[in-house]
Amino acid sequence: MRLKDRVVIITGSAQGIGKVYAQRCAREGARVVLTDILDTQPAAEELRKSGAEVLALRTDVAKEQNTNAMAAQTIARFGRIDVLVNNAAIFATLPLQDFWNIPVTEWDRVMEVNVKGNFLCVKAVLPQMRKQGGGKIINIASGVAFKGVPYMLHYVSSKGAVVSLTRAMARELGPFNIAVNAIAPGYTMSEGVLARPEQVNQMRRPIVESRCFKRDEVPEDLTGTLVYLASADSDFVTGQILAVDGGSVMH
């Protein structure tokens, strides 16, 4: 059990890859905080049945009051915060479109959730991590930031920002013994992605062809790297973006 008793907050974990991260962290002995703009109770129930200690919250990561409440409720329940996984994002529901047709309101919301949400969640957990003398922040970026993938300019730009804020935060938080790293997944067959078979059919082949390992990526491909970054095994690693995509991006 590599995360025994660590308190791990995972945003955007009602479903999809976030839920799979939560399941793996629980199997590694972590106490897990599930939080999403959607209801996290069903996912939390599943975890409790397997014996995990779980807190289920509803949080809009783009609202500071919500993110502060997320940190406060975690401390009230578990007394500490060891790991924050910034997984929440607007992604699977986005239509592919020419960037000049993206409505400004949609652009703003993607930036608000994917970039500001990340900043607010870190801000919220920071006082507790500093008090404890350290912690781990794991941001979820994306391979699209390195590839310049077309037809989702707001999303691609937001993940580029996640790469940059990971590096800058690592420099500012190093003196407090807080590691800040990111995972850059490739195109992954998550629940949300699989709900749009037409898009999958269009995108899957060229992406698989671009990899060294020529197969689909599934959420379970990401969990080993997440556990590594959340555990003591990565204690001298910070400011890094680990591409977990079968060898498509090399940076």
Q: Residues interacting with ligand NAD, by CB under 6 A?
A: 11-12, 14-18, 36-38, 59-62, 87-92, 113, 117, 140, 142, 185, 187-188, 190-193
Residue 230 C-beta: closest distance to ligand NAD, Å: 16
| Residue of 21, 151, 155, 228 with catalytic role | 155
Residue 86 C-beta: closest distance to ligand NAD, Å: 8
Token output for 235: 């204690």
Residue 19 C-beta: closest distance to ligand NAD, Å: 8
CB atoms near residue 24 (< 10 Å):
20
With b meaning 16 or more CB within 10 Å and e meaning fewer, what string describes 44-79? bebbeeeebbbbbbbbbbbeeebbbbbbebbbeebe
Residue 87 C-beta: closest distance to ligand NAD, Å: 5
**Residue 155 designated active-site:** yes
Active site residues: 155
